[in-house]
Each structure stands twice: as structure tokens, then as C-alpha cells.
Amino acid sequence: MNDPENTRHVLKPLHGGLSEILGIGAHGSVVALADGSIMLAQESASRISTDGGRTWSDPHPLSCPIPVGGVVRLQSGGLAVYGSRDDRTFFSASNDDGKSWSEPKLIGDFPFFRPLHHSMIQLQTGRLLLAGYIAGPYSWEQRDGTMVSVHPDLQYDDVMAYGTWRGRKFGIEGHGHAPEMGATVVCRSDDEGRNWTRHPGAIMGWFDFDGIPNGHCGQTSCFEPTFAETPDGNVLLLMRSTVGRLVQSYSTDGGEHWSAVVPSDLPSSESPGVMVRLPATGDLLLVWNQVSRDEIRRGYRRGRLSSAISRDGGHSWSFFKTLELSEGLEDLEQVPPEYPIQMVRARDRVGPLPDGWAYSHYANLDVIGDTVILRYPRGGPLLGIAEQNLHKQESVMRVYPLQWFYE
């Protein structure tokens, strides 16, 4: 799985002392075990590392009764997992570091609900929160590997964005080029997962060109949420949107109510971020696709993978870093927010792509002590793939010292 040549198409290679592994997917979570090792639990399997994540065992069957989407170490000492099956989301727990598991408890069975990475957190009060998104209604569906639209004149392959690479036509962007809607939903439990309550409504954007929540620019979808508890005990929710920013909402009562969605100051394409609270300080660490509106229009919506730290609960961000960079983009650490705040996507035809056109996206983060384990898919034509052939992308794991993100 270790590949010293894996930076052949990457403009931001790892610095000395950092390690990269290929072949381990971004799903699931990494958690410290009582014996000092760490476990990566994904779907129905687990891997073990005894050297802080630099090397991993082969996958072994995990006896959990649900496919593991994510893991939380509970304040009571046990492990809690969430996972989805047949459009239903379940919870299970273990009191022996994953050797045995409780019977699954249903969190929700409403249609099209999907959690993502780090979708479950435990607040300092002990309350569990699970965030996900309602993935629909879309105007298209997948049939036998082909995206089919309900509108004959808006078929997916016809309306998506394309570029050319060495004279070959590549699909580079699909979402945002056909009608679709999405909203975030939050569930909560006050008894460590035995019973769950769903937030009574869905969370959507409803703001104008300046980001004021007055509805003058209609409804904005809020997909693929990530959230974390802030140092003052509030909860910050960041969501994927179509308006060139991550959009955000706060809860001041443990996830029971949420403020009106507004754009954050974090430029982003229609791509998800992942955010975690750093246990030692309460700081927030975010990894996301930080790109400008012009870069999105030119076909680079996931061409820069960035990180940033917030020390004030998400009200401001600093220590910006670029983790991955596509050829064709400027090597800079921070992209300034832009106005007006409105829908932005790639041009339908972006023209020739550079040899090193690449994307990195759907990152997942785990913090174990003073180590950060980052996992994400990466792709590009030099690997024989483009963004719309996602099943062929490579899986990347990087292991960083936490202090690196503050340097």
C-alpha cells in the first residue's frame, strides 16, 4: 500500500517526516483502543495499527450488526457506531472495544437520509447528535450505471460539464447541472443511543446575494453536513452548497434548534468539508475544497484541498494550508470570500485541461492524541480517471503530527 511514486501528479508533495499510504478508503473512523493500538472500522471490517497509523493490518471481519459509517468513543468508555442499510440509519454500541455489539437501534427511516463522515458527535452534556442530509428530490436517478433524468431535454450526460485532456473528452462536473434539492436533518439522543429524536424540520438556506437570510434569492440546498461542538458549548454546522461558500448554522441548545443558515467566510465549491473538535484545546480543524468562483468556473471545483483552524468556535479561521493542488491552480494558502453570493458551477465546456489536472475530495479526519489521520479519494487523467468515473479513484491516507496544522 505504500507507494513512493504517488506524488507523480501532485503539486503539493508531503514534507519530510509525514507518511502516505494508498489503498485504505475514507469511510468509517479511527479510534484508540485500551491496549494502546488504534482501530479503523469501516463497513463490516476493521484494521489495527500499533505504530500510530503508519502501517496497518489486513482487514478483519467486524462483528458489528450494522455497516459502520462512523465511530465515537463515548464518555462512558464504550464505542458507538452509526450506519445505514436500505435507507434506514441505525446505532449500535460496544463495551469491549469492538469484540461484541448491542442489537441495532433505529435512528431514522425517512427516505433518502444519508449521514457522511464524522456525522455523529457526543456533546459535553453527554447528548449524542447525528447529522445527515436528505438527498433528494433529484430530477434524475441511476439506472444500470447510467444517470437518467425525468426531463428528456436535461439528460445527465448531455448537461454536465466537460473538458478535454490530451484531446480526449472528460466529464468533470455533474452536480449543479441538473435540478436537485437537499436539506440537512439532525437527530439527538440523551441516553447514549437507546432512543432518538429527530429535529422537527429540515435545514436549508434562504438568503440573498449578501448572505442576509431574507429569502430574496430563493432556497439554497444544504447537503453533506459536518459539525462540532464549540468551546462555548454551542454546535457549529457547516454544509455543502451551490453558492461558492460552505454555509453554516449554529445551535445554542444542544441541537434542538438551529439559527438561520448563512454563508460562511469559507470559499468552497459544491463539495463537502469535514470538521472535528480538537479534544485538548477545543479548537476546530476543518479540511475542505477551498476554491474561488473563477476556479470553479474553469473546472477545478475539487482541485485544491485545504485545511484551517478556528480558535473561536468558527467565527474566524487561521493557519490556512494547502494539502493537495491540481496543476492549473495558483499555489496559495487562503482564498478570499467573494460577492455576490449566488450559484456557481463549471462552464459547460471548460476547454483543454493541463496534464496534471487532478481532484481530491470527500476527506475524513480522525485525531488520535497528537496525531491527525486524514483520508480522502484522489484522481485525475494521469491515473486513467476523471471525476465522473469515481469508482476508479485511488484512496489516500496521510498521517500528520497535529502541530503541523498550526505551523
**Cβ–Cβ < 8 Å for 82, 91:** yes
Q: What distance lies between CA 386 and its chain's CA centroid?
A: 19
The dihedral sign for the CA sequence 315, 288, 171, 69: negative
pTM for the whole structure = 0.95
CA 267 – CA 146 distance, rounded (Å): 31
17 pLDDT higher than 90: no
Q: Average pLDDT, stretch 240-253?
A: 98
Per DSSP, the chain holds a count of helices (H) and strands (E) of 2, 30
CA 374 – CA 307 distance, rounded (Å): 11
pLDDT level of residue 360 (50, 70, 90 thresholds) = very high
CA 184 – CA 202 distance, rounded (Å): 6
Query: In 3-state terms, what secondary structure has residue 382?
Result: helix
The dihedral sign for the CA sequence 186, 191, 196, 201: negative
The whole-chain average pLDDT of the chain stands at: 93
CA angle (30 as vertex; 29, 34 as ends), nearest 5: 130
pLDDT at 7 (0 to 100)? 40
pLDDT at 87 (0 to 100)? 83
| pLDDT tens per residue, range 143-184 | 887 778 888 898 888 899 999 999 999 899 988 888 888 999
**Cβ–Cβ < 8 Å for 63, 104:** no
pLDDT level of residue 389 (50, 70, 90 thresholds) = low
pLDDT at 136 (0 to 100)? 67
| pLDDT tens per residue, range 118-142 | 999 999 999 999 999 997 667 777 7
Residue with cell 431514522: 108
**Cβ–Cβ < 8 Å for 309, 402:** no
pLDDT level of residue 390 (50, 70, 90 thresholds) = low
Least confident window among 31-35, 63-67, 150-154, 343-347: 150-154
> Strand 161-165 and strand 349-352: pairing?
parallel
**What backbone torsions phi and psi does residue 294 show, to the nearest 5 degrees?**
-65, -40
Q: How far is CA 245 from CA 43, 115, 268, in A?
A: 31, 21, 5
Structural domain spans, the chain: 138-180+203-406
CA 299 – CA 178 distance, rounded (Å): 17
**Cβ–Cβ < 8 Å for 38, 79:** no
- The end-to-end CA distance of the chain, in Å, is 29
pLDDT at 144 (0 to 100)? 81
Least confident window among 89-98, 272-281, 328-337, 383-392: 383-392
**Cβ–Cβ < 8 Å for 128, 122:** yes
- Residue 205, beta-bridge partner list: 220, 261
CA 162 – CA 165 distance, rounded (Å): 10
pLDDT level of residue 10 (50, 70, 90 thresholds) = low
pLDDT at 384 (0 to 100)? 76
Q: What distance lies between CA 116 and its chain's CA centroid?
A: 7
2 pLDDT higher than 80: no
**What backbone torsions phi and psi does residue 20 show, to the nearest 5 degrees?**
-135, 135
To which H or E segment does residue 372 belong?
Answer: strand 371-379
Alpha carbon dihedral 392, 394, 395, 396, in 10-degree steps, equals: -160
pLDDT at 6 (0 to 100)? 42
**What backbone torsions phi and psi does residue 170 show, to the nearest 5 degrees?**
-130, 135
pLDDT at 93 (0 to 100)? 98
List the strands of the sheet with 161-165, edge to edge: 168-173, 161-165, 349-352
- Residue 285, beta-bridge partner list: 276, 309
pLDDT at 42 (0 to 100)? 97
Q: Where are the beta strands (DSSP E) in 272-363?
A: 274-277, 284-289, 304-310, 318-325, 349-352, 359-360
To which H or E segment does residue 61 belong?
Answer: strand 60-61
- Do you find a cis peptide bond into 340, omega within 30 degrees of 0? yes
pLDDT at 140 (0 to 100)? 74
Q: Average pLDDT, stretch 226-242?
A: 98
11 pLDDT higher than 70: no
Question: Closest by alpha carbon to 170, among 376, 358, 378?
Answer: 358
Residues above pLDDT 70, as percent of the chain: 96
pLDDT level of residue 343 (50, 70, 90 thresholds) = very high
